[in-house]
Amino acid sequence: METSLRLGGGIDADERPGIVAAWSNLTKRLQSFPPDAVELELSVKERATPSQRMVLEARIARSGRLVATSEEPDFDRALTEVRDDLIRQLSSAKNRTEPRNRRSLRETIREHE
């Protein structure tokens, strides 16, 4: 994930190691994709204000574009929110594309057993 993460506005390059460390769960989830198939961009607008808005945009080959946002004014909590939201979106996208999660296919398979 380190190589695929770009830091946009509002985030300093020296914050990268802390962000990567805090996102170990996301890193594990992204390991199922080829490294060159994942692009992440994190940005913050109006940082350290009550109207702070964090955006994590993910472009993943064959999965399209996913966007996670947080309006949490605390930077660390916002990082956690966008991480968890992106993990949820990735899991949801995976579940939609796997045949074992489609009821009609499960019922068809059971009929033939």
Predicted confidence (pLDDT) per residue in 18-72, tens digit: 999 999 999 999 988 888 899 999 999 999 899 999 999 999 887 789 999 999 9
* Number of other residues whose CB lies within 10 A of the CB of residue 67: 14
Dist CA 37 CA 62 (whole Å): 9
Report the CATH number at residue 55. Answer: 3.30.160.100
Residues whose CB falls within 8 Å of the CB of residue 81, separated by 6 or more in sequence, listed in order: 54, 68, 70, 72
84 confidence band (pLDDT: 50, 70, 90): very high
| Assessment of whether the complete model's pTM goes beyond 0.75 | yes
The pLDDT of residue 112 is 52
Long-range contacts of 91-94 (CB under 8 A, 24+ apart): 91/29, 93/63, 93/66
Query: Minimal CA–CA distance to 26: which of 73, 81, 70, 74?
Result: 81
92 confidence band (pLDDT: 50, 70, 90): confident
The pLDDT of residue 2 is 77
**Residue-range definition of the domain harbouring residue 18:** 5-112
Task: Please give the tally of structural domains in the chain.
Answer: 1
